Structure 1
Amino acid sequence: MSVETVSLADIGRDLGEQIAETDVYERFERASQAVENDPEAQEKIASFEQLRQEFMAARQTGDADRESLRRVQNAQNELHSLPVMKEYLAAQSDLQNTLEEINKAISEPLSVDFGGEAGGCCHD
């Protein structure tokens, strides 16, 4: 099977399907579903998001203070202290690490440094 007969998009889809079958991805999916199905987690997510939105709006108008920041941080800490959220965050971190490893493996044979080219066009 050569690149000529299989498009790179097809190879990417195959890779995505293979990733979806890994234990690390399946753990993430289970943890995500557990959070979605947990009423307490959903309540704390909604509370955190509301406080965060209020803080962001206050920050834009210059009305944000330490107390409002503290409320946001406390809501986030309460949310993250739930066992279902701890598992979700751990599963998410593991999946991100796996995807970063895959990205490095894909990038390794490429000699393109897009970060180095951000400031200009052509180098002699």
Structure 2
Amino acid sequence: MSVQKDRLEELGRELGDAIAETPEYEAFEEAKAAVEADDEVQEQISTFQERRDHYMHARQMGNATEENLRKVQEAQEELHSMPKMAAYLDAQEDLQERLEAVNEAISEPLAVDFGGEAGGCCHD
């Protein structure tokens, strides 16, 4: 491995460690643990997944009904209305926003206008 590649991987690990220390990541991990430890939430997740799987199978077979879809939507709404699941989804969204901001910061100096840089037949 080249020195540059080693350094990039080291920076990647440092970035991962720094992300793990953000309030958004910590809140996400706490909310995830709360969801995983709550039997009622886990039961509702199972209900939702079963209904969704049943609907997807019926759809693939060409015999899905509006009633099947309504049951999936009801199970999802009930799941999302549970306080621990709602907190988890909010924490997940906050973490995703933070990660998108980090991604933009990484990508910004790498931006290249390939159309503007190309030569040959691409220019008028």
Band of TM-score, shorter chain: 0.7 to 0.9
RMSD: 1.9
Q: Which of the two has greater helix per residue?
A: 2
- Give the structure 2 partner of residue 80 of structure 1: 80
Deviations 1:15-62 (CA, angstroms, capped at 9, x unpaired): 001100111100000000000000100000000000000100001010
Distance 1:5 1:39, change over 3 A: closer
Task: Find runs of 4+ consecutive structure 1 residues off by over 2 angstroms.
Answer: 3-6, 111-114
Mark the structure with the bigger radius of gyration: 2
1:7 match: secondary structure: helix
Offset of 1:6 from its aligned partner?
Answer: 5.0
Q: Residue in 1 aligned with 2:31?
A: 31
Shift of 1:111: 2.4
CA distance in 1, matches of 2:111, 2:84: 42
AA matched with 2:84: V
Instruction: Tell me the TM-score normalized by structure 1.
Output: 0.86
Alignment of 1:33-52 (within 5 A): 33-52=33-52
Deviation of 1:113 (Å): 6.8
Map of 1:110 onto structure 2: 110
5+ unaligned residues in a row in structure 1: which ranges?
Answer: 117-122
Q: 1:77 to 1:30 in 2, by over 3 A?
A: same
